[in-house]
Amino acid sequence: MRIEVLKSKIHRVKVTEANLHYIGSITIDENLMDAANLIENEKVQVLNIDNGERLETYVIRGTRGSGMICLNGPAARKVSVGDTVIVISYASMDFEEAKQYKPTVIFPKEDNTL
């Protein structure tokens, strides 16, 4: 049996931009991506702590060290600049393997740095 488990989590980052007229996705500072073990084009859930919205999209690499968290395309309607979000990805694995798996969870500072 295979199950989905938490793979990566960026816990509580601030939205720095919302760009309605860009191809849909979330742009994330490459430092945060590396620390959270996320890769470009990976599917993620974005949970907005401020308004309760939840959405799925994919990751685009942002400028390293910028602190950028930018929701693009239709997702830009689900956030406001300054909102606090959680970014989560999941992995599918064998049930027994999942029992031993340890996800990568990071807790950035208020300015979206590590």
Domain ranges of the chain: 2-94
The pTM of the full predicted model, rounded to 2 decimals, is 0.97
Q: Catalytic residue at 90? A: no
The reply to whether 58 belongs to the active site is yes
- Which burial class, exposed, middle or buried, applies to 94 when counting CB atoms under 10 A from its CB (0-12, 13-18, 19+)? exposed
Q: How far apart are the first and last CA of the chain?
A: 36
Looking at residue 98, its amino acid is A
3-state helix, strand, coil in the chain (%, to 5): 15, 45, 35
Catalytic residue among 8, 22, 58, 90: 58
Which is the catalytic residue, given 8, 25, 80, 92? 25
The CATH number of 2-94 is which of 2.70.150.10, 1.10.260.40, 3.40.50.720, 2.40.40.20? 2.40.40.20
pLDDT, one tens digit per residue, over 50-98 is: 999 999 999 999 999 999 999 999 999 999 999 999 999 999 999 999 9
The total of other beta-carbon atoms located within 10 Å of residue 104's CB is 14
